[in-house]
Amino acid sequence: LMVAGIDRYFQIAPCFRDEDPRMDRHYGEFYQLDMEMSFVDQEDVFAIMEPLMIELTETFSKKNVVAKPFPRIPWRQAMECYGSDKPDLRFDFPITPITVVVKNSGFRVFDKARDAGGVVHALKIEGARFSRADIDTLTELAKSKGASGLAYIIMEDAPKSPILKFLSQEMITGILTAVGGCKNGDIVFFGAGEWEMVCKSLGAVRDECGRRLGLKDPLKAAWCWITDFPMYQPSELEPGKIDFAHNPFSMPQGGLETLKTKPPIEILAHQYDLVCNGFEITSGAIRNHNPETMYKAFEIAGYSREEVNTKFGHMIRAFEYGAPPHGGNAPGIDRLLMVLLDATSIRDIYAFPKDGQGRDVMLDAPSEIEEKQLKELHIKITTNN
């Protein structure tokens, strides 16, 4: 549409995806407010989206928007500070990097992580007063995200923890100072190891602590933009290979020159997510509209020019006629309603939701189709052997 001269379009459209259902994702389909605009940059998209989301929030819910304009948080900062690229900002509890603070700590877990090129992070939860059972539950949560355990220090007149015997008094003081000091009832959790695993495991603990302490205020709508997503990431399946981290059709920051000169892992994309109360509401990007930039972006991810032409030749050929810079996003209407209405599951906002197997249980659909029904609709089913 952009190549054809359509300046911009907005539509409410069904979207079908082969994705597993979960509490915030309906089976196989959802509705989105799709928008794409020519000659816009990231700030233009934000300027259109923010008033819309503010009005929808204030019109269709009892929530108060926490911050206007919406905060912008780079992806890496969001991961390092909140342990998530969709942080819930209704409460604070930031994660603190302490790798330098615990250098040569003498505690094997910390030293091993640092020697392997990993990190040590701390998460202070104020006024927690957690029981042993609470800590055990949080430990299992951290383990489910890849952590080997969850070390901690509790403040009860003085610091208390099984790990104190491994740390000097100077080291303990340094840690408590780094997290902003501790009062009675506070607890500091620790993560050590590979950066992303540490961020995600402490992020999960942070989120659960917010829930347990009643800090997820239902009358708050904490919107924020997550920006500067990485363009590439190391492949999880093939060591040494580079994969796209997110949307392969995003414009890399710096364009073709950056693709030619920068290490792939350092390249950022003109990609952004809009998040509310810990849920991604929309994902968007400034699109890659240049054929040579497109070829180079896919080459880095291991695609030949021929493969790109086979898979995306229609797009490349259109861009060769001259495509305007363009961008947009497509907020999910279903999930937005779920967040605004405080539904416990996205299925709660559907009149006829599908179950976990993709069936409409009221109509018992999908069901077997009779041959005469196919004939009436002029549909023929063929099987390729």
Question: Quick check: is 179 in a domain?
Answer: yes
- Is the pLDDT at 23 greater than 80? The verdict is no
Q: Peptide bond preceding 291: is omega within 30 degrees of 0, i.e. cis?
A: no
Question: What's the sign of the alpha-carbon dihedral 93, 97, 99, 102?
Answer: negative
84 to 158, 248, 282, 303: CA distances (angstroms): 31, 21, 16, 30
pLDDT, one tens digit per residue, over 273-323 is: 999 999 999 999 999 999 999 999 999 999 999 999 999 999 999 999 989
What pLDDT was estimated at residue 266? 97
Question: Quick check: is 196 in a domain?
Answer: yes
Q: What is the residue-wise DSSP string for 163-184?
A: TGGGS-HHHHHHHHHHTT---T
Question: Quick check: is 201 in a domain?
Answer: yes
Q: What 3-state class would DSSP assign to 62?
A: coil
Q: Does the model's pTM come out above 0.75?
A: yes
Of 288, 283, 287, whose CA–CA distance to 225 is shortest? Answer: 283
324-337: average pLDDT: 95
Q: What is the residue-wise DSSP string for 188-205?
A: EEEEEESHHHHHHHHHHH
Reported as a pLDDT band with limits 50, 70 and 90, residue 16 is: confident
- Is the pLDDT at 261 greater than 90? The verdict is yes
238-260: average pLDDT: 95
Question: Quick check: is 9 in a domain?
Answer: no
Question: Quick check: is 158 in a domain?
Answer: yes
34-49: average pLDDT: 96
Q: How many domains does the chain have?
A: 1
Q: Supply the range of the domain harboring residue 145.
A: 91-215
Question: Quick check: is 101 in a domain?
Answer: yes
286 touches 250 (CB < 8 A):
yes
- CATH code for the domain of 140: 3.30.1360.30
Percentage of the chain beyond pLDDT 70 is 100
What pLDDT was estimated at residue 385? 60
What pLDDT was estimated at residue 236? 86
- Is the pLDDT at 384 greater than 90? The verdict is no
154-159: average pLDDT: 92
Which residue would you say has higher pLDDT here, 221 or 1? 221
Reported as a pLDDT band with limits 50, 70 and 90, residue 209 is: very high
Of the ranges 7-21, 93-107, 313-327, 351-365, which one carries the lowest mean pLDDT score? 351-365
Question: Quick check: is 61 in a domain?
Answer: no
Question: Quick check: is 104 in a domain?
Answer: yes
- Is the pLDDT at 363 greater than 90? The verdict is no
